Amino acid sequence: MKAYEKNFRHKHFLGQNFIIDEFLLEDIADESGISKDDYVLEIGPGNGALTRCLLDRSKCVLAVEIDKSLMPLLKDNLKSYENLTIINADFLTYDFQNIISDFEAKGFDKKINHIKVVANLPYYITSLIINQLLLNPYISEMTLMVQKEVAERIVAKPGGRDYGILTLSCNYFSETSLLMIVSKKCFDPMPKVDSAVVHFKKHADIIDLSNNDVFHIEDNEDYKKLFSLIKASFSQRRKKLVNSLVNVGGYDKDTLLKAFAKNNFDENIRAENLSLDDYIKLLSTISIQK
């Protein structure tokens, strides 16, 4: 064992729970569906165990790791690979244009190619990272290890306790599926809860780079109106939807009831009963009535 390996201490505050199950590493890489044509981004490579499996299956991997003390270990473990770039940075603040430029040096064409992300995410910033990845039109697919409870919220169906703003936001950008549940015993150090791997396949219009709107989706008025309606709907999720929308959203009760009737929604429904399409229909009916 090299000195830096012996001296390495996992940093809890950086979410450093490393995968120690070899079969799991291979399974994640297999299930991600990446192939030799793919440009892969890994967030938080840690000691490089998953990175190695990704390198074996892809055209190239760019790995962004915040912890400087992991650099010698990571570089040494993966020194035999030429198709790897390691960047020591905080993914949340790192300029994505640099990632694109690095891939471009390896043949990436912005007009044709997309990036696939595979990562065992640091749990303390899971939502922030997922949000950034969803909004990024260069990224077409993500295979992400998250806490089991977060995974259940991502893939939830209407009507359940887990269904909410996170589900609808993931549905807006992508088709999601639960790939596997992972026991906490597969990590070192062992976390308190189990994990799960979720796959996101972005909708074609969300990653259509010939459409300028995809780069500014947060500023798109329809998107902003839709998510302000959804946020108001879930702000009091135990109440009837109509009451939440009147109390928090500031909508007019008569307008709402007419829009409900037009879309065949029961007057007593709650926020969790509507699908993303239902919310889109509701917004469009309300807007027409105004």
Applying CB under 6 A, the residues found at the interface with ligand SAM are 14-19, 43-46, 49-50, 64-67, 90-92, 120, 122, 125
Beta bridge partners of 200: 142, 176
Nearer to ligand SAM among residue 18 and residue 227 (C-beta): 18
Least distance (Å) between residue 37 CB and ligand SAM:
23
Nearest Cα to Cα of residue 132 among 4, 9, 218: 218
Least distance (Å) between residue 232 CB and ligand SAM:
31
In the three-class reduction of DSSP (H, G, I as helix; E, B as strand; rest coil), residue 42 is classed as strand
Nearer to ligand SAM among residue 92 and residue 257 (C-beta): 92
Handedness of CA 242, 245, 246, 251 (dihedral sign): negative
Nearer to ligand SAM among residue 132 and residue 176 (C-beta): 132
Least distance (Å) between residue 206 CB and ligand SAM:
24
Nearer to ligand SAM among residue 90 and residue 175 (C-beta): 90
Nearer to ligand SAM among residue 44 and residue 249 (C-beta): 44
Instruction: Give the list of residues 6+ apart from residue 109 with CB closer than 8 angstroms, or none.
Output: none
The residue nearest ligand SAM at its CB is 44
Measured N-to-C along each axis, helices 49-57 and 22-31 cross at an angle, to the nearest 10 degrees, of 40
Residue 156 burial by Cβ neighbours in a 10 Å radius (0-12, 13-18, 19+): buried
DSSP for 170-186?
Answer: HHHHEEEEEEEEE-GGG
Least distance (Å) between residue 67 CB and ligand SAM:
4
Least distance (Å) between residue 14 CB and ligand SAM:
4
